[in-house]
Structure 1
């Protein structure tokens, strides 16, 4: 997820539905009109939710309610909505004490106890890593590329092995988060089209994962769903350097990454060009333009004629799933659906009490913890 200020983000809106979704008729599901899925559409097997902030919310006493208004375990609520996979980010040594190794172990155990699969999202940072910043962990700040290769291997292997030893082996891992131009800057940044250092780091992460668990799938994740040219530039670059990966991961937010038609084309090309499954590792949509706290929302922009409302959020998410499915992707993950506004669960891990929540209008639970009754994850 990008965490730069809203004013600096690209806001590319599209009001045209993906060509693959356009049909003469529409279906109505749960009272929501949606473009009819293609007859030959595949199946989404990774029906995901990134719930990285959830443990903090629960520790602060947030209560979550299902569509009937009954208090319930939020993971169970999401599972009942169709979720079968959770995504958990891991930071090296965050000041907040959350999203570190110990907390990830705790959250993975909770998810696996409900029969959910687990993806681990390695940021290789003490804080947010995204296309605009990839800060090295403080403990690695002075390390050169050779040392960083060892760091990536050891940290990846350590977290994966700890999960394995408690009976919650990760089903998949991301080696880096939205690494459009590299990770662990500046050593791992792609400069002048030189992917050498980045590829060394990605190989270290891949090898560590497979040494821990050969069956765990490795995802290489960028926010390049906006541009087929950018997608090709990145994945061609790492492929030419001999990097191995199992799944291509893309972030897609319609207000920043363009039309559903464009998303369809990028997925089709990525799947065909690299011969690997594609997953939308992040997406979300607002249910309101209002703000629950003093922290400005990341965005309130809307797309495709869908309002910022419960119905609009559910409709847009359904259309994103339909587009991904029809293009041949294997999954879609909603980013931070449980991150409701509550004091003490702020945006900045270095100031978790002093900052608010920029995502309170993008969650699928409202400010009182009630779930969007219309939203559903569909295979």
Structure 2
């Protein structure tokens, strides 16, 4: 996610000026997207602490089954190395992958190369890797990537797509892999992508940046990656309308970048609030006055914003807009399933951007995601 977790820790609500929606923003999507995804990395922990999810008709069911029956066809799961709470590690990801594949959905594996959140504001090494020299660090990236993916292969739950790094505009595995040192960063990325190719030769490799409306960032970053021989199949975007510029800027960027590199694009993270309200003790990362990006914080506003994002992706020339993944649609306010893996009492600052309301019922935007 784009916002650093420090923002969640301080519990500060974010209020931004409204940006008028573009003409036709609420129109029907141009064509069905091939990838209609959801990142549900928090789901096992929420389930363990008593979370519940109701379909649109009010029936309590397995959250993954609700997503699948709503048209979601791809699940994204993050991987941490040795998280304090024991979630989002190899064993948990393998268990979730079995559930995903049993429901006939595709699997996108998102390597953070950290014990905690990795995003533009922090890309910290796992504790076990902090003393490694650079040669050993490169090997650790390969070994960790290989180990998790080989576990998936061994149990017959192949990864269809793999992200080598999460929102890595500022690099990964600081300080060695900062983007100010592209020589090092490229070697770390090549180590990870080599492991992907070894285990799953047909899996699509994604390189993922935040700030989906920032064309200069994407050109600078991918020019460097390409010139240093970093392989990739898909360009991954985060596009949160509250933070990442207008829909027009996003449209211009995704059209330019897919043409410039001849690669398809996937929005691997997006979300928008359905309410300005709060359902637990921690202030939401998007809160305060609204509308935030030209759409009200209502169920209809959330649905219309998602439809507008889908329209942008569907209209990418030459069919290079693959789809959209909603970030954490099932992360409702379940006490114990907070944002901080080191603090069991931490809260959730995201529940107003889930696709289930404060009564745990599926919102209309979930049907929009799957259509």
TM beyond 0.5: yes
Unaligned runs of 5+ in 2: none
Aligned residue number for residue 31 of structure 1: none
Change (3 A) 1:354 1:361: same
Is this contact kept in 1: 2:213–2:251, CA < 8 A? no
Aligned residue number for residue 238 of structure 1: 225
Q: Using the alignment, how far apart are the partners of 2:215 and 2:17 within structure 1?
A: 15
Aligned residue number for residue 293 of structure 1: 280
Aligned residue number for residue 14 of structure 1: 19
- TM-score, length basis structure 1: 0.91
1:238-270 Cα offsets, whole Å, 9 max, x none, are: 111111101000100011001111111111111
Is this contact kept in 1: 2:242–2:293, CA < 8 A? no
Out of 34, 37, 43, the position equivalent to 1:45 is: 34
Q: Using the alignment, how far apart are the partners of 1:182 and 1:45 within structure 2?
A: 29
- TM-score, length basis structure 2: 0.93
**How much has 1:11 moved relative to structure 2?**
5.1
Aligned residue number for residue 170 of structure 1: 159
Change (3 A) 1:215 1:11: farther
Is this contact kept in 2: 1:10–1:256, CA < 8 A? no
SS in 2 for 1:323: helix
Unaligned runs of 5+ in 1: 27-33
SS in 1 for 2:351: coil
Q: Using the alignment, how far apart are the partners of 1:122 and 1:266 within structure 2?
A: 25
Q: Using the alignment, how far apart are the partners of 2:65 and 2:308 within structure 1?
A: 24
Aligned residue number for residue 214 of structure 1: 201
Task: State yes or no: 1:187 paired with 2:176.
Answer: yes
Q: Which shows bigger deviation, 325-334 or 114-123?
A: 325-334
Change (3 A) 1:9 1:297: closer
Q: Using the alignment, how far apart are the partners of 1:89 and 1:251 within structure 2?
A: 15
Is this contact kept in 2: 1:291–1:297, CA < 8 A? yes
Out of 351, 356, 359, the position equivalent to 1:360 is: 351
Task: State yes or no: 1:123 paired with 2:112.
Answer: yes
Q: Using the alignment, how far apart are the partners of 2:345 and 2:335 within structure 1?
A: 8
Aligned residue number for residue 30 of structure 1: none
**How much has 1:137 moved relative to structure 2?**
0.0
Root-mean-square deviation (Å): 1.8
Question: How many positions carry a matched residue from both structures?
Answer: 360
Out of 269, 272, 275, the position equivalent to 2:256 is: 269
SS in 2 for 1:5: helix
Q: Which shows bigger deviation, 144-153 or 124-133?
A: 144-153
Out of 232, 240, 258, the position equivalent to 2:245 is: 258
**How much has 1:197 moved relative to structure 2?**
0.6
1:285-336 Cα offsets, whole Å, 9 max, x none, are: 1011111111121113534532111111111111111111112410100000
Q: Using the alignment, how far apart are the partners of 2:15 and 2:61 within structure 1?
A: 37
Q: Using the alignment, how far apart are the partners of 2:365 and 2:221 within structure 1?
A: 37
For residues 4-83 of structure 1, the aligned pairs below 5 Å read 4-5=6-7, 14-17=19-22, 22-23=23-24, 34-37=26-29, 41=30, 43-83=32-72
Aligned residue number for residue 331 of structure 1: 323
Aligned residue number for residue 278 of structure 1: 265
Q: Using the alignment, how far apart are the partners of 2:17 and 2:313 within structure 1?
A: 19
Change (3 A) 1:291 1:215: same
Out of 248, 253, 265, the position equivalent to 2:235 is: 248
Task: State yes or no: 1:136 paired with 2:125.
Answer: yes
**How much has 1:273 moved relative to structure 2?**
0.7
1:50-96 Cα offsets, whole Å, 9 max, x none, are: 00000111122212100110111111111122200000001000001
Is this contact kept in 1: 2:79–2:89, CA < 8 A? yes
Q: Using the alignment, how far apart are the partners of 2:116 and 2:16 within structure 1?
A: 24
Q: Using the alignment, how far apart are the partners of 1:57 and 1:281 within structure 2?
A: 22
Q: Using the alignment, how far apart are the partners of 2:52 and 2:14 within structure 1?
A: 32
**How much has 1:368 moved relative to structure 2?**
2.6
Is this contact kept in 1: 2:17–2:293, CA < 8 A? no
1:8-63 Cα offsets, whole Å, 9 max, x none, are: 9895753132xxxx45xx9xxxxxxx2254xxx56521110000000111122212
